[in-house]
Chain A
Amino acid sequence: MITIKNLRASVEGKEILKGIDLEIKAGEVHAIMGPNGSGKSTLSNVLAGRADYEVTEGEVTFNGKNLLELAPEDRAREGVFLAFQYPVEIPGVSNINFLKTAINETREYKGQAPMEAKDFLALVKEKQHLVELDGKLANRSVNEGFSGGEKKRNEIFQMAMLNPSFSILDETDSGLDIDALKIVASGVNKLRTKDNAFLVITHYQRLLDYIIPDFVHVLYNGKIVKSGGKELALELEEKGYDEIKKQFETV
């Protein structure tokens, strides 16, 4: 699905990603853990196409296409989805209008006719139910005045609506209470198929009890320094990053 080779990226002249290699196949769930500031969100943003980051080296192939050449909207239309660590509030733009525009522009890109209004509303209803999002929230302005947890749930709602093939969840679990965490996780599990893939960024092993990853990677100082199975998350939870930090502390 996606192959990342020797990806290096900097912001304002400072290198953040220092050569990332990662391959994710359809049907897989990968988790990335790592201390604050190690570059997890930077990786997500670079994959989603945020302009602030300059890719200085490396390549990313997504379903055979050179992802880095595509505009952010085209990456989304091709099936890349980023659930933001900090979802943006957009006063005055209704969630519904926003999603309708997103879905129809994606359909247009694929040469499909716009979705019928009644089909769209039925889809909204179904997916709202999936993430147990309050109907009122769907009608409000995008994230405006949403609580931290509501914002995260709204990200998963959008993911369910857009049905991407590759989803990056950047700390979607932070700020969620236990019940919300279960709802979000079960939402993700229901969307999981053999044809799509997930990259789950988290600080807590807890989430991985619900969304069982096939691989766990540790990102430290802009590099993946360790990879393993789901037991790696447990080990990190227990020991913290001290050992890794010591081992990879460089200049």
Chain B
Amino acid sequence: MSISLENKISTAQNLTAALSRVGDKNNVFGFDMIGEALQFVEIEGLPTNKHEEFKYCNVDAVFRKEFKEINNSFSEINMPPVVVDAINVYIINGRFESVSGKAEGLVICDLVAAQKTHKEVVEKNLGAHAKPTSSVFVALNTAYCQKGLFVYVEKNAKIDKPVYIHYLTDPISVSVINPRTLIVCGAGSNVQIIDDYYSKGANFFSTHTSEIVVGENAQVKHYKIQNEGDNAFGVITTEVVQSSNSVYDAATFIFSGSLVRNNHHVRLFGQNIEAHLNGLIIGRHNALIDNHTYIDHAMPNCNTNELYKGIAYEKSSLVFNGKIMVRRDAQKTNAYQSSKNILMSDDASIYTKPQLEIYADDVKCSHGTSTGKVDEDALFYLKARGIGDESARKLLLQAFAQELIDKIEIPSLHDKVLELFEESLK
């Protein structure tokens, strides 16, 4: 990639101002890490769509909108109603604000505090799985994050209530937000995490970076609901690492956003690991929603499964890029991937790209993609029974989405997502 002055990050963030962030008492990262991150940003610049990984995702153009400095106010936040019985965590404009509720074996606090109370865990993991030099957005996040979130589930702890993390963004701010999350699930633990990204019309760019560590024999369910409105931009990075015999089960639901890029990476460092990445994406208006997944099979006997479904309305574009790496030692790997999409308008577009890199010989891997319109024969069949056009389409789209919504095991969350889904079809 060529580096031009043009596409340097300094268009959006003033580097001198940035450097003043080093030593920010709310940023958990030390001088070295921040320095490294900023240097990386300066060299790399923002990716343009000439960059293969950002072919359909023109972040550079978006960033040029010159998002302002991080805004501190959150008075205008309209808190969404809490419908799930959970331990509620509030991240406001990218900063950890509060937590209500607790559970035996569960620690939730901001990263700066955690650096003191859980020094070893933080030092071992923070920035180790999402390295500042892995992408410009992680680098930016590293340099600018403040009051990140720390969730720690102790060894063998079974957390009954889900940990519901509300990522709320102020509707009056126009800014870059840099939420940072570290979730460490100890060996044999069991937890459900909900990331709910919500905003009422805020115009912002998020660099949210999460690191999730799933210990041996641990079971983690991870739900993501992204519904931040038509002015939300962001490159969201989720780096998951798993140890032997663990299960990581993720389901992502995206209902709005102007430009949403999710990088969801799972690395399997052990045997008998199970990982599921699922997604349901509704594109409306001019949205560009780009899901990049990466699953790294490093060792034998692991099973992974991916199912992403998209419904693209109007002029929206949906991208699914699923990379699966099966390394030489990863014999007896089962890795399946499928992407299915429905185009609701002639102006909408879908781009899917499976990427399988297989270096082991005794493996079962498959991928499939399909893109089409609503099945006209089915539509006519329903109408011929007296069902109107709108209801008939709704029935068919619901049928398409159902298997993903049904992956939600928390009934109240299931209903909330179903409602959001139905709302998003209107």
A residues adjacent to B (C-beta < 8 A)? 48-51, 71-73, 75-77, 81-82, 84, 87-88, 90-93, 97-99, 101-103, 105-106, 109, 141-142, 158, 162
Q: 27 A-B pairs, CB-CB below 8 angstroms?
A: A48-B384, A49-B383, A49-B384, A50-B380, A71-B383, A73-B384, A73-B388, A73-B392, A76-B385, A76-B386, A77-B386, A88-B375, A88-B378, A88-B380, A90-B378, A90-B381, A90-B382, A92-B398, A101-B391, A102-B386, A103-B386, A105-B386, A105-B387, A106-B386, A158-B385, A162-B385, A162-B386
For chain B, which range describes its interface: under 10, 10 to 19, 20 to 34, or 35 or more residues?
20 to 34
CB pair B378 A92 closer than 8 Å: no
B412 within 8 A of A: no
- Bound form: Cα–Cα A81–B396 in Å: 21
CB pair B384 A92 closer than 8 Å: no
Residue of B nearest to A86 (CB): B377
B residues adjacent to A (C-beta < 8 A)? 375, 377-378, 380-389, 391-392, 395-396, 398-400, 402-403
Give the number of residue pairs across the A-B interface with Cβ within 8 Å. Answer: 76
CB pair A88 B403 closer than 8 Å: no
- Bound form: Cα–Cα A98–B259 in Å: 36
Task: Decide yes or no: A93 and B396 within 8 Å by CB, A88-B377, A101-B391 being known contacts.
Answer: yes
- Extra contacts, 13 of them, besides A75-B384, A88-B380, A101-B391 (Cβ < 8 A), are A50-B380, A73-B392, A76-B383, A90-B378, A90-B382, A92-B398, A93-B396, A93-B399, A98-B395, A101-B387, A102-B385, A102-B387, A105-B386
- Bound form: Cα–Cα A171–B391 in Å: 29
Nearest Cβ on chain B to A38's Cβ, whole angstroms: 22
Which of A92, A99, A142 has the largest number of chain B CB atoms within 10 A?
A92
- Bound form: Cα–Cα A94–B400 in Å: 12
CB pair B398 A105 closer than 8 Å: no
- Bound form: Cα–Cα A50–B398 in Å: 23
CB pair B384 A105 closer than 8 Å: no
CB pair A98 B398 closer than 8 Å: no
**A48 to chain B: which residues have CB within 8 Å?**
380, 384
- Bound form: Cα–Cα A112–B400 in Å: 31
- Bound form: Cα–Cα A77–B391 in Å: 14
Residue of A nearest to B385 (CB): A102
CB pair A72 B384 closer than 8 Å: yes
CB pair A98 B385 closer than 8 Å: yes
**B377 to chain A: which residues have CB within 8 Å?**
88
CB pair A51 B380 closer than 8 Å: yes
**A76 to chain B: which residues have CB within 8 Å?**
383-386
**A73 to chain B: which residues have CB within 8 Å?**
383-384, 386-389, 392
- Bound form: Cα–Cα A178–B389 in Å: 38
Nearest Cβ on chain B to A44's Cβ, whole angstroms: 10
- Bound form: Cα–Cα A109–B378 in Å: 22
- Bound form: Cα–Cα A91–B397 in Å: 11
